[in-house]
Amino acid sequence: MEDLRFFFRNLFFKCLDSIRYRRQGSIKLRDLLEAAEIPEASLEPDVLALLDHPVKLVSFIKKRMVPDCLAFGLYREKLEYMKQAKRLGAFACVVKEKFDIGIPCIVVPDPLLTYGKMCAKYRELFPDIGVTAVTGSIGKTSVKNMISTVYREQFRTLTEPLNENEPHIVGFSVQHLSKRIDQWVQEVAESVPGTTKTISLMMKPNVVIITELDRSHIGRLGSMDTIFDEVCNLADSLAEDGIVVVHKNAFNALDRLEGKKIVFVSESDDSADYYARDIEVREDGLHYTIVDGGSAVPVHLKNIFARHNVLNSLYAYAAGRHAGLSPQTIACGLGKYKTTGFRNNVYKSQEGDTIYADCFNAVGRSIRSALDAASAIPIAENAKRIAILGDVQELGDEAAAEHLSILKDVNQANIDRLLLIGDQFHAAAKDFPFRQDLAVSYPDSIDEIVRTLKPSLSQGNLYLFKASHSGHLDQCIKKLWPRMFEEKDREERRMKRHWKLQMLIP
């Protein structure tokens, strides 16, 4: 059975390769080594013999490897992993140290940087494609999806539909650009030092969006200074006429963007290039006006209640204006934007329950915004607002103080019942003076949450689920309303297939 799967996998990629060759033409190993500034004098004889070998893909993720690909050993540079790369069809590998695995090894001091330089060669084939890169701590995926929705009003747009934002996805997308694409929108993680600089080299973006920054990655990056450095590095290879879009009131590292054209956005500050006014939360979503110079542009985000989405839409507005779209076209695109999956989404069950699902990422500010949104959504007179909150991850030494700060805001929010899951929240809640009318419980597992909430279903209550993805509250939602979310899972799979087909069609 394993051999049969391997046969059909290779057959599929042979079909894909023939499409890519019609689209891009063949790139040889010699071309990529030149792009990566690797001199021929440093190469072993077995590599020199392959200089004119066509490269069908450069990849460092096993599931992305295809016959005649160039495999990279980056995060899992182990003998067994490289042997698997050979079995999947790699004709050579790029590594820090040589392996005896039966295929030539190209030894370099920094495989990730080499990967970036080689992927940049593919980007050079399509200089006319507009590229928008989105990074930051809060709202990357929402901003990316908003921009894509706006661009699609006028442009053929490529975007990864979920939230994959690591170098291998960026490199995979770069290698599948084509003349049928006008705009490419990509979110970028700032989780590993040096990553964004390499991704900037691959993408050569025309627009860099830096969303609000928070301590959510401080556990990995160590300090806010490092976080600022990482997000600003994404603008290193910015196009000459490119822009960097930042929050007027919350970005404190403009010195790191010296020489770049900065566009400011704000929910309220009228000194920003684009700002919002008259923000209202109504039963059908957010209504507000974007001020663009002397123009006032009315916007309606349907079925979206969290006010931080106003700022997200301003990032998208700035990107759209730089791409040449009219204010009215952008407002029309924003009106068509829909949240996906368990990110800022409001669902209504057949039994009358309201589910506010925002459990993919969590930082202090997004939790506060979700609590405000849940308070504004109308419910029946006798119904309850129930918040289920999970730990905020990657806070490092600041975890205890941040969770305590969140609990202070929760205590003042318009909710009737609170369920806290996770060691950090449990520790912060110990001896915390919750108000007397707030019922608080401390489940230890997803199954316990399900058992606790089941008796309250079908009573018109509102349930706010807010946590990082690692909290697995999405599994809790699926167990409580299984029929409802089978269709949502199918929709997510459909979006993923559509993204792959975008890269297959010449």
pLDDT per position as a tens digit, 177-209: 888 899 999 999 876 777 889 999 999 999 999
- In this predicted structure, what is the pLDDT of residue 485? 67
Tokens 């440093």 belong to residue: 42
Query: Which amino acid is located at 406 in the chain?
Result: I
Count of CB atoms situated within 10 Å of the CB of 80 = 9
Count of CB atoms situated within 10 Å of the CB of 11 = 10
- In this predicted structure, what is the pLDDT of residue 22? 42
Q: Which tokens hold the place of 336?
A: 């068509």
Confidence of residue 352 (pLDDT cuts 50, 70, 90): confident
Q: Average pLDDT for residues 39-48, to the nearest whole number?
A: 91
Half-sphere exposure of 15 (CA within 13 A, CB side): 9
| Residues 6 or more apart whose Cβ sits within 8 Å of residue 377 | 305, 346, 354, 356, 462
Q: How far is it, in rounded angstroms, from Cα 26 to Cα 289? A: 49
161 has pLDDT over 80: no
| Residues 6 or more apart whose Cβ sits within 8 Å of residue 36 | 108, 114, 117, 118
Q: What is the pTM of this model?
A: 0.81
434 has pLDDT over 50: yes
Pick the closest to residue 424 from 414, 412, 432 (CA basis): 432
Least confident of 168-182, 239-253, 471-485: 471-485
The Cα diameter of the chain in Å comes to 79
- In this predicted structure, what is the pLDDT of residue 297? 96
Instruction: Decide if 2-111 and 126-338 have a common fold.
Output: no
Confidence of residue 123 (pLDDT cuts 50, 70, 90): very high
> Can you give the residue ranges of every domain in the chain?
2-111, 126-338, 345-490
Sign of CA dihedral 333, 336, 342, 346: positive
Pick the closest to residue 471 from 439, 499, 449, 501 (CA basis): 449
pLDDT per position as a tens digit, 290-303: 999 989 999 999 98
Helix (H, G, I), strand (E, B) or coil at 172: helix
Q: Average pLDDT for residues 46-58, to the nearest whole number?
A: 91
Q: Residues for the chain: how many in total?
A: 506
Strands 385-390 and 58-59: unpaired
Share of the chain above pLDDT 90, in %: 40
Q: Which tokens hold the place of 366?
A: 């997004």
- In this predicted structure, what is the pLDDT of residue 220? 62
Q: Average pLDDT for residues 462-479, to the nearest whole number?
A: 85
Give the phi and the psi of residue 383 in degrees, each rounded to 5.
-80, 165
Q: Average pLDDT for residues 337-344, to the nearest whole number?
A: 78
C-alpha gyration radius of the chain:
24
| Residues 6 or more apart whose Cβ sits within 8 Å of residue 138 | 211, 212, 213, 214, 216, 308, 361, 363, 365, 366
Q: Which CATH architecture has domain 345-490?
A: Alpha-Beta Complex (3.90)
267 has pLDDT over 60: yes
Q: Average pLDDT for residues 376-384, to the nearest whole number?
A: 87
- Out of 3.40.1190.10, 3.40.50.1700, 3.90.1150.10, 3.40.50.1220, the CATH code matching 126-338 is 3.40.1190.10
User: CA 151 from chain center: how many Å?
Assistant: 17
Confidence of residue 11 (pLDDT cuts 50, 70, 90): low
Q: What is the mean pLDDT of the chain?
A: 84
Q: Average pLDDT for residues 436-458, to the nearest whole number?
A: 91
Q: Average pLDDT for residues 250-254, to the nearest whole number?
A: 74
pLDDT per position as a tens digit, 55-91: 988 887 766 677 888 988 765 456 677 778 888 888 9
21 has pLDDT over 60: no
Q: Average pLDDT for residues 151-160, to the nearest whole number?
A: 92
Q: How far is it, in rounded angstroms, from Cα 431 to Cα 237? A: 51
Q: Which tokens hold the place of 465?
A: 């689920």
- In this predicted structure, what is the pLDDT of residue 365? 76
pLDDT per position as a tens digit, 483-506: 776 665 566 666 555 555 554 444
Q: How far is it, in rounded angstroms, from Cα 76 to Cα 78? A: 6
- Out of 1.25.40.340, 3.40.1390.10, 3.40.720.10, 3.40.50.920, the CATH code matching 2-111 is 3.40.1390.10
Pick the closest to residue 251 from 209, 216, 304 (CA basis): 209
- In this predicted structure, what is the pLDDT of residue 326? 96
Confidence of residue 12 (pLDDT cuts 50, 70, 90): low
In contact, 228 and 256? CB cutoff 8 Å: yes
What is residue 88's DSSP assignment?
T
Least confident of 2-6, 153-157, 159-163, 178-182: 2-6
